[in-house]
């Protein structure tokens, strides 16, 4: 790059939003990414870091000089800083912590005392608090001391002398009521606080059901600790969607689309290995009926049809069950109703499509025995697929394993094994 | 249900949030759902309706008496009303429209003049506007006339005499600056407005990159039409995630998990039909090599391994590409870099796993020819899978077809056909 181009690029970058710069960086191969990163003005750098996926961010900061990293850390939000600092080597981490102000360091330690994925880790400490026994006039005077309020402030948190959360004074109310009114007359006590150990998934559901822009986070004694804002919720939803999509293909949602080849190959290979076991299980089932297949070669031709129909039907039930679990729609009260319903759908669609497949098989091989056997195998496999599509995610969920990751592999194993076994087994029994 | 239980239930319902009631309703079989719906107080009913999926909502309102429906319509937000009214039979729609106030009717007609999925349809008309040449004192006096401000009001929209959008006066600024300040000195002109034809996907990206709680919607002449708020964005993200998850299994995200069996069976059957075509295409390929399979039955045993390894590797590339497209990370500038990278990963993992598979095949069948043929077929299929995993979504995207829906089926067709063809074709050529 020539100097003139670099100057133009820097001008362009300085007018972009940090989120946009992050998008551009993520859409670049690693080498170009590092070159561009070096050109980003320091003032934008720290916020840009918070928009990047873990893997991309870590690759960039590893090369930053310590003083630049410290400068960036000071500008970061505490929860982003906590996420980042955990990944850094101990000496770098120490030197950053030594350079932070006492106040930020205290917030950082609070944040790090909570597990990743909890309200305590997600919250930020930038809360403006007021007491309930003052008038709106006092509140307004107090706000005038501030140059600006933190982003996503839809209200002030009302606490008592002991720091116990009492409710929220919405800015809406503050702006539409008389100055003599007391805070306690106006504050919304139905604005519940979020306990610090609440999971991200529950936090997202909480915000979706309410009309809050921000909510207080409290400890077990109802002490106000910080607040969570709607942009955190958007981040949670995006991550959850990413996680569901990526893990269905055995991928890590933090993985970098533009990572070096060797790293990417390594990340993908485990999933291929797991699938290989499944594939050989299916092959082993076919191997048991090798003699039958040798005698009636039409079976080898048709067997993928039986397995794949089961796989498709099962994945539909599986997907609906996984979504139902994520939205808390499935409970012990309706599981048996659902299972019965899905099996019934399996029987109905099994009967319809087994008739079609039997017809095509007859036209192809002119053998009524093969047609009857494949029809029976498809009905059996679609029933098994429905049952597995409900049972697998429910069992994994109960065991605390994420069904979005491993559900599909286990399901395919079931539908492959049941499909090949029923088709070739029935053929061995009735057609030989 | 006894009268006493009904009373208790009604008491319980009246203290729940509409979003919570909607969740409970969605997690019920249709008959119980209608019984519960009849018990929900009218004051909560209309907002509950807006939280329900289309299909569930339509089934409930079809049985409501006209006057109740009209009452509910009056309490709804205009964009929700527009979505609902489009689905109603003409006479019911007419009777609702006849009973709406002139103001709401006008807003409704504006909303309906935009396509579903655009900013114009999504926006709500509840905007508080101010002029730029007044002082904060005037603004504060004006706000005091209001009982309350609309939810998600983080600022007032500044317009000129002609209704042209000028910028946003943030409540933060209003509360922290002196009453004598003019609006024009404080308003944020970098708070861009959203053009009315912007798609939901673009709106979500816009909010994610900014720190806005609400944004103005303008027509092509920059006239202020309404506003979009962050809860709309959360709704968009949830829908997009739902759509990606559900369509990967050929399901409609509006489909009801608790729909009647016949209806569900019908919704699922089309996908089974599409898959059937794919499956028979694979069967047809095997059929071409029936003689080979008859002579070497080990090929029938091992062929699912080749096809499924390709399917898994391809779905990983496909998923990454679909995500990259959704996040605007893939452009003409980096497509060839990505394709080269994915093919390289395919070669590396192909070499590793073909060696493993060849080893297992040798242990099983003690035939060096079969081992060599399956190794070659796996490498070929993994390269084809990588190329297809990039090319299919890019092509669909360019044609304006959603790759999340049809990408996986087409990919599996490619990996099945290439897998069976390379394995059985090489075997026919070298082993017979």
pLDDT of residue B358: 98
- List residues bridging with A124 in a β-sheet: A227
A94/chain B closest Cα distance in angstroms: 32
For A241, the closest of B209, B240, B364 (CB atoms) is B240
A155-159 vs A165-170, strand pairing mode = antiparallel
* Structure tokens that stand for B354 in this block: 């073909």
Shortest CB distance from A143 goes to which of B26, B176, B249? B176
In the predicted structure, residue B1 carries a pLDDT above the cut 70: no
**Is B281 an interface residue toward A (CB < 8 Å)?**
no
E-state strands within B120-270: 129-131, 155-159, 165-170, 194-195, 214-218, 224-229
Asked if A330 and B27 come within 8 Å (Cβ–Cβ), the reply is yes
Residue of B nearest to A154 (CA): B154
For residue A198, CA distances in Å to A191, A206, B19 come to 16, 10, 19
Indicate whether B274 and B397 sit together in one domain: yes
Taking the Cβ of residue B271 and every Cβ of chain A, the question of whether any pair is shorter than 8 Å is answered with yes
Say if residue A2's pLDDT is above 70.
no
Same domain for A99 and A188, yes or no, is: no
* Cα separation, B41 vs B48, whole angstroms: 10
Measure CB to CB from residue A301 to each of B23, B144, B287 and give the nearest one.
B287
**pLDDT one-digit tens code per residue, B256-267:** 777 888 888 998
Q: According to the model, what pLDDT value does residue B61 have?
A: 83
How many residues are recorded in chain A? 432
Do the beta carbons of residue B59 and residue B29 sit within 8 Å? Answer: no
Say whether residue A285 is in contact with chain B using an 8 A CB cutoff: no
Candidate from B27, B176, B360 with C-beta closest to A148: B176
CB proximity list for B160: less than 8 A, separation 6 or greater? B131, B132, B166
B282 at the A interface (CB within 8 A)?
yes
Q: Is A332 exposed, middle or buried (0-12, 13-18, 19+ CB in 10 A)?
A: exposed
- Taking contacts as CB-CB distances below 8 angstroms, the residues of chain A near B231 are 211
For an interface test with B, give the residue of A18, A242, A267, A312 to mutate (most B CBs within 10 A). A312
CB contact (8 A) between residue B304 and residue A297: no
pLDDT for position A285: 97
- Give how far B94 is from chain A: nearest CA, Å: 32
Mean pLDDT of chain A: 90
The two tokens of residue A392 are 């697998």
- Residue B40's nearest CA partner among B85, B72, B82, B79 is B72
The tokens for A121 are: 């880790």
What are the tokens at A202? 């529950």
Tokens 């399956």 sit at which residue?
A: B374
* Cross-chain residue pair B329–A154, CB shorter than 8 Å: no
Instruction: Count structural domains, chain B.
Output: 3
Closest-CA distance, A292 to chain B, in angstroms, reads: 10
Can you list the alpha helix ranges (DSSP code H) found in A224-334? 230-247, 261-288, 290-295, 298-326
- Least confident span in A406-415, B69-78, B102-111, B121-130: B69-78
Give the C-alpha separation, B56 to A273, whole Å: 42
Say yes or no for a CB contact (<8 Å) between A345 and B261.
yes
Give the CATH number of the domain where residue B88 resides: 1.25.60.10
Q: Are residues B78 and B142 in the same domain?
A: no
Q: Are residues B83 and B56 in the same domain?
A: yes
Total H helices, total E strands in chain B: 21, 6
Question: Touching check for A356 and chain B: CB below 8 Å?
Answer: yes
Residue A392 lies in a domain: yes
User: Does A426 score more than 70 pLDDT?
Assistant: yes
- Side-chain-side CA neighbours of A368 within 13 Å: the count stands at 0
The kind and range of the H/E element at B356 are helix B335-365
Structure tokens at B210: 């900014």
Query: Is any Cβ of chain A less than 8 angstroms from the Cβ of B179?
Result: no
Q: Are both A189 and A147 inside the same structural domain? A: yes
**Contact yes or no for B140 and A175 at CB 8 A:** yes
Identify whether the C-beta of residue B81 lies closer than 8 Å to the C-beta of residue B50: no
Complete DSSP assignment for B317-340? HHHHHHHHHHTT---TTTHHHHHH
| Chain A hits for B364, Cβ within 8 Å | 287
The pLDDT confidence band at residue B11, using thresholds 50, 70 and 90, is confident
A chain contacts of residue B279, beta-carbon cutoff 8 Å: 304-305, 308-309
User: Taking residues A160-181, what's their average pLDDT?
Assistant: 93
Residue B240 in contact with partner chain A when CB distance is under 8 A: yes
- Token output for B124: 């709500």
| A392 or A243, higher pLDDT | A392
Q: Are residues B211 and B98 in the same domain?
A: no
Preferred mutation among A245, A246, A356 to probe B, highest tally of B CBs within 10 A = A245
B344 with B395, same domain?
yes
A326 belongs to a structural domain: yes
The reply to whether B173 falls in a domain is yes
Q: How far apart are CA B203 and CA A283, in angstroms?
A: 49
d(CA B217, CA A135): 37
Distance, CA of B100 to CA of A273 (rounded, Å): 62
Contact A352/B at CB under 8 A: yes
Give residue B143's pLDDT: 93
* Confidence category of residue A54, pLDDT binned at 50, 70, 90: confident
Hey, how many other C-beta atoms are within 10 angstroms of the C-beta on A12?
A: 11
Secondary structure letter of residue A16 according to DSSP: S
Give pLDDT tens digits for B337-381. Answer: 889 999 999 999 999 999 999 999 999 999 999 999 999 999 999
Q: Which helix (H) or strand (E) holds A421?
A: helix A403-431
Q: Is A148 on the interface with B (CB under 8 A)?
A: yes
Q: Are B234 and A208 in contact (CB under 8 A)?
A: yes
For residue B187, give its domain range: 129-247
Specify whether B291 is located in the same domain as B410: yes
Asked if the structure places residue A228 within a domain, the reply is: yes
Range 31-50 of A in CB contact (< 8 A) with B: none
Whether residue A254 lies inside any domain: the answer is no
For residue B332, tell me if it sits in a domain.
Answer: yes
Contact check, Cβ <8 Å, A275/B352: no
Q: In whole angstroms, give the CA distance from residue B338 to residue A258.
A: 7
Interval A189-218 mean pLDDT: 91
Q: Which residue in chain B is spatially nearest to A293 when comparing CA positions?
A: B297
Asked if residue A278 and residue A404 are part of one domain, the reply reads yes
A224-271 per-position pLDDT tens digit: 999 999 999 998 998 888 888 888 888 887 777 778 888 889 989 999
B319/A302 Cβ within 8 A: no
Residue B2's pLDDT is 63
What residues of B are in contact with residue A271 (Cβ under 8 Å)?
312, 316
Instruction: Answer yes or no: do B213 and B325 share one domain.
Output: no
Is A123 contained in some domain?
no
Residue found by looking up tokens 């816009």 in the block: B206
Q: Is the distance from CB of A228 to CB of A203 less than 8 angstroms?
A: yes
Asked, for residue A27, whether it belongs to a domain, the answer is yes
Of A75, A90, A115, the last residue of a domain is A115
Q: How far is CA B217 from the centre of its chain?
A: 22
Token readout for B249 is 């299994």
Coil, helix or strand at residue A222: coil
Our CA-based measurement puts residue A173 at a distance from the nearest CA of chain B, in whole angstroms, of: 6
Alpha helices in A15-159 (DSSP H): 18-26, 30-39, 42-51, 54-61, 66-75, 78-85, 90-99, 102-112, 119-122, 136-144
Same domain, B274 and B379: yes
Rounded to an integer, what distance in angstroms lies between the CA atom of residue A370 and that of residue A389? Answer: 28
What is the side-by-side order of every strand in the sheet holding B129-131? Answer: B129-131, B155-159, B165-170
CA proximity to B233, closest of B218, B214, B253, B246: B214
Distances (CA, A) of A412 to A116, A384, A388, A392, B208: 32, 11, 10, 11, 37
Q: How far apart are CA A424 and CA A300, in angstroms?
A: 9
Same domain, A199 and A334: no
Residue ending a domain, among B116, B142, B158, is B116
Q: Which of A213, A242, A251 lies nearest to residue B152, judging by beta carbons?
A: A213
Compute the mean pLDDT over every residue in chain B, rounded to the nearest whole number: 90
Residue A60 structure tokens: 């960039």
Tens of pLDDT, residues B57-114: 888 888 888 788 888 888 888 888 898 888 888 888 888 888 888 988 999 999 999 9
Q: Compute the CA torsion angle B52, B53, B56, B57 (nearest 10 deg).
A: 60
Task: State which residue of chain A sits closest to B264, comparing Cα positions.
Answer: A345
Handedness of CA B63, B64, B65, B70 (dihedral sign): negative
For B171, the closest chain A residue by CA position comes to: A171
Residues from chain B that touch A230, judged by Cβ atoms under 8 A, are: 213, 230, 234
Q: For residue A348, give the nearest of B172, B238, B265 by CB distance.
A: B265
| Last residue within a domain, chosen from B92, B116, B140 | B116
In this structure, the number of other CB atoms found within 10 A of the CB of residue B100 comes to 17
- Measured between CB atoms, does B283 come within 8 Å of chain A? yes
For residue A356, give the 3-state DSSP assignment.
helix
Q: Does B280 touch chain A (CB under 8 A)?
A: yes
Instruction: Report the residue from A23, A309, A328 with minimal CB separation from B279.
Output: A309
Q: How confident is the model at residue A386 (pLDDT cuts 50, 70, 90)?
A: very high
pLDDT of A185 > 70? The answer is yes
Cβ separation A364–B231 shorter than 8 A: no
Decide: A157 and A129 in contact? Cβ < 8 Å. yes
Nearest to B20 among A209, A302, A329 (CB): A209
The CATH number given to whatever domain includes residue A344 is 1.10.357.20
Check CB contact of A322 with chain B, cutoff 8 Å.
yes
Average the pLDDT over A390-401 and give the result. 94
Residue A95's pLDDT is: 85
The answer to whether B394 touches B336, Cβ cutoff 8 Å, is no
Q: Give the confidence band of A329 by pLDDT, cuts at 50, 70, 90.
A: confident
Asked if A306 and A420 count as a contact pair (C-beta separation under 8 A), the reply is: yes
B28 lies within 8 A of chain A by CB: yes
Measure the CA angle with vertex A117, ends A113 and A120; round to 5°: 45
CATH number of the CATH domain containing B204: 3.10.580.10
Q: How far is the C-alpha of A56 from the C-alpha of B397, rounded, in Å? A: 26
A266 with A283: CB under 8 angstroms?
no
Instruction: Write out chain B residues lying below 8 Å of A177, CB-based.
Output: 144
Gap between the Cα atoms of A54 and B175, Å rounded: 37
- Give residue A152's pLDDT band: very low, low, confident or very high (50, 70, 90): very high
Contacts of A69 (CB under 8 A, 6+ apart): A61, A92, A96
């Amino acid at each position: 790059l020539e100097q003139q181009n670099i100057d133009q690029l820097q001008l362009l970058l300085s007018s972009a939003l940090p989120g946009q710069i992050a998008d551009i960086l993520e859409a670049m191969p690693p080498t170009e990414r590092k070159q561009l990163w070096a050109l980003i003005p320091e003032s934008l750098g720290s916020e840009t870091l918070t928009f990047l996926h873990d893997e991309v961010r870590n690759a960039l900061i590893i090369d930053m000089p310590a003083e630049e990293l410290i400068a960036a850390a000071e500008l970061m939000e505490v929860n982003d800083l906590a996420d980042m600092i955990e990944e850094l080597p101990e000496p770098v981490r120490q030197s950053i912590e030594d350079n932070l102000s006492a106040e930020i360091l205290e917030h950082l330690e609070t944040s790090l005392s909570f597990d990743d994925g909890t309200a305590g880790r997600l919250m930020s400490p930038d809360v403006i608090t007021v007491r309930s026994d003052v008038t709106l006039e006092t509140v307004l005077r107090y706000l005038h001391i501030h140059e600006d309020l933190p982003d996503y402030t839809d209200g002030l948190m009302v606490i008592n002398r002991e720091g116990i959360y009492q409710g929220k004074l919405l800015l809406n109310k503050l702006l539409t009521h008389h100055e003599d009114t007391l805070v306690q007359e106006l504050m919304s006590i139905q604005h519940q606080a979020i306990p610090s150990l609440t999971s991200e998934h529950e936090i997202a559901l909480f915000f979706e059901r309410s009309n809050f822009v921000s909510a207080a986070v409290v400890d077990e004694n109802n002490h106000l600790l910080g607040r969570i804002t709607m942009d955190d919720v958007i981040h949670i939803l995006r991550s959850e969607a990413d996680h569901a999509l990526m893990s269905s293909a055995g991928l890590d949602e933090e993985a970098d689309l533009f990572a070096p080849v060797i790293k990417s190959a390594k990340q993908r290979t485990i999933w291929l290995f797991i699938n290989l076991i499944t594939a050989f299980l299916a092959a082993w089932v076919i191997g048991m009926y090798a003699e039958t297949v040798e005698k009636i070669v039409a079976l080898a031709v048709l067997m993928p049809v039986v397995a794949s129909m089961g796989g498709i039907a099962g994945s539909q039930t599986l997907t609906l069950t996984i979504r139902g679990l994520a939205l808390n729609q499935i409970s012990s009260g309706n599981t048996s109703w659902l299972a019965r319903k899905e099996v019934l759908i399996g029987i109905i669609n099994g009967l319809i499509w087994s008739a079609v497949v039997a017809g095509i098989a007859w036209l192809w091989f002119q053998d009524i025995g093969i047609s009857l056997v494949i029809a029976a195998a498809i009905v059996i496999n679609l029933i098994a697929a429905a049952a597995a599509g409900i049972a697998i995610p429910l069992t994994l969920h109960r065991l605390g394993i994420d069904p979005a990751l491993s559900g599909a592999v286990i399901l395919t194993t079931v539908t492959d094994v049941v499909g090949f076994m029923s088709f070739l087994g029935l053929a061995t029994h009735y057609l030989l």
